[in-house]
Chain A
Amino acid sequence: MNLFEWMGKIISQYWLQFLKGTGNTLLMAIIGTLVGFLIGLAIAMVRTIPVRETDSGFRRAVMRAVNWILSAYVEVVRGTPMMVQALIIHYSLFVVVGMPSLLSAIIIISFNTGAYMAEIVRGGIISIDRGQFEGAHAIGMSHAQTMVHVILPQAIRNIMPSIGNEFVVNIKDSSVLSVIAVTELMFVSKQAGGAYAKFVPAYIICAIVYFILTFTVTRILRYLEKKMDGSSSYTICGSQSDPGAEIHIKREEA
Chain B
Amino acid sequence: MEQQVNTQPDAPILELSHLGKKFGDNVVLRDISFTVRAGEVISVIGSSGSGKSTMLRCINLLETPTLGNIYYRGQDIQTGNIPLTAYRAKVGMVFQQFNLFGNMNVLANCVRPQQIVLGRTREDATDRAMEYLEKVGMAAYINARPAQLSGGQKQRVAIARTLAMNPDVILFDEPTSALDPEMVGGVLDVMRDLAESGMTMIVVTHEMAFARDVSNRVIFMDGGVIAEEGTPTEVFQNPREARTREFLSRFLGNN
Contact = CB atoms under 8 A, between A and B. Distances in A.
Contacts of B89: 139-140
Nearest to A145: B116
B148 to A, nearest CB: 6
Nearest to B85: A140
A208 interface: no
A150 B101 contact: yes
B14 interface: no
B64 interface: yes
A153 B99 contact: no
A134 interface: yes
A227 interface: no
Q: Is the interface of A mostly helix, strand, loop or mixed?
A: mixed
B172 to A, nearest CB: 12
A7 to B, nearest CB: 48
A141 B117 contact: yes
Contacts of A138: 60, 62, 88, 92-93, 95, 99
Interface in A115-138: 129, 131-132, 134-138
B94 to A, nearest CB: 9
Contacts of B161: 139
A98 interface: no
A234 B95 contact: no
A135 B98 CA distance: 8
Given A153-B103, A157-B103, A137 B88 contact: yes
Bin chain A's interface residue count: 20 to 34
Interface stretch (B44-52, B137-145, B226-234): B137-145
Contacts of B92: 138-139
A138 B101 CA distance: 12
A99 B211 CA distance: 73
Interface in B74-121: 85-89, 92-93, 95, 97-103, 105, 112-113, 116-118
B100 A234 contact: no
A136 B165 CA distance: 12
A242 B142 CA distance: 17
B88 A235 contact: no
Interface in B16-62: 60, 62
B62 A137 contact: yes
Nearest to A131: B99
A219 interface: no
A135 B101 contact: yes
B113 A131 contact: no
Given A154-B103, A251-B148, A140 B143 contact: no
B205 to A, nearest CB: 18
B141 to A, nearest CB: 6
Given A137-B88, A139-B117, A142-B85, A150 B64 contact: no
A155 to B, nearest CB: 10
A236 B97 contact: no
Given A141-B85, A236-B140, A136 B95 contact: no
B112 A149 contact: yes
A141 B116 contact: yes
A140 B141 contact: no
A139 B113 contact: yes
A239 B140 CA distance: 8
Contact of A134 (B95, B117, B140): B95
30 contacts: A54-B64, A129-B97, A132-B101, A134-B95, A134-B99, A137-B88, A138-B95, A139-B89, A139-B113, A139-B162, A139-B165, A140-B86, A140-B89, A140-B113, A142-B85, A149-B112, A149-B116, A150-B101, A154-B103, A157-B103, A230-B145, A234-B144, A236-B140, A236-B144, A237-B139, A237-B142, A237-B143, A249-B144, A249-B148, A251-B148
Interface of B: 3, 60, 62, 64, 85-89, 92-93, 95, 97-103, 105, 112-113, 116-118, 139-145, 148, 161-162, 165
